[in-house]
Amino acid sequence: MNNSKTIFGLSKIQLATAIAIIFHSVGLIGILYFKQSIIIQTSALNLLLMFVLICYTQPQKNHSFWIFMLICVLTGFGVEIIGTQTGMLFGSYAYGETLGPKLFQVPLIIGVNWFIVIYCCGISMHMLMHNLTQKTSIQSAPPKTILKKIAVLVDSATLAVAFDWIIEPVAIRLDYWRWLGDGNIPDYNYASWFVCSLLLMIIFQMTSFEKRNKFAVHLLLIQVMFFLLLRTFL
pLDDT digits (tens, 9 = 90+) for 143-193: 567 777 888 899 999 999 999 999 999 999 999 999 998 888 888 899 999
Lowest mean pLDDT among 32-36, 134-138, 188-192: 134-138
Question: Mind listing the pLDDT tens digit for each residue in 81-132?
Answer: 999 999 888 989 999 999 999 999 999 999 999 999 999 999 999 999 877 7
- Grade residue 141 by pLDDT with cuts at 50, 70 and 90: low
pLDDT at residue 142 tops 60: no
Q: Are 18 and 216 in contact (CB under 8 A)?
A: no
| Distance in angstroms (rounded) separating the CA atoms of residues 176 and 170 | 8
Counting Cβ atoms within 10 Å, is residue 90 exposed (0-12), middle (13-18) or buried (19+)? buried
Lowest mean pLDDT among 36-45, 76-85, 91-100, 210-219: 36-45
Q: Helices 110-139 and 43-57: crossing angle, nearest 10°?
A: 40
Share above pLDDT 70 across residues of the chain, in percent, rounded to a whole number: 92
What pLDDT, on the 0 to 100 scale, is given for residue 9?
77
Lowest mean pLDDT among 6-15, 42-51, 153-162: 6-15
Q: How many beta carbons lie within 10 A of that of residue 134, not counting itself?
A: 10
What's the CA angle centered on 117, arms 75 and 22, to 5 degrees?
A: 135
What pLDDT, on the 0 to 100 scale, is given for residue 10?
83
Strand partners, 93: 179
Per-chain mean pLDDT for the chain: 90
What pLDDT, on the 0 to 100 scale, is given for residue 183?
80
What pLDDT, on the 0 to 100 scale, is given for residue 152?
86
Dihedral Cα 61, 167, 107, 90, nearest 10 deg = 100
Share above pLDDT 90 across residues of the chain, in percent, rounded to a whole number: 72
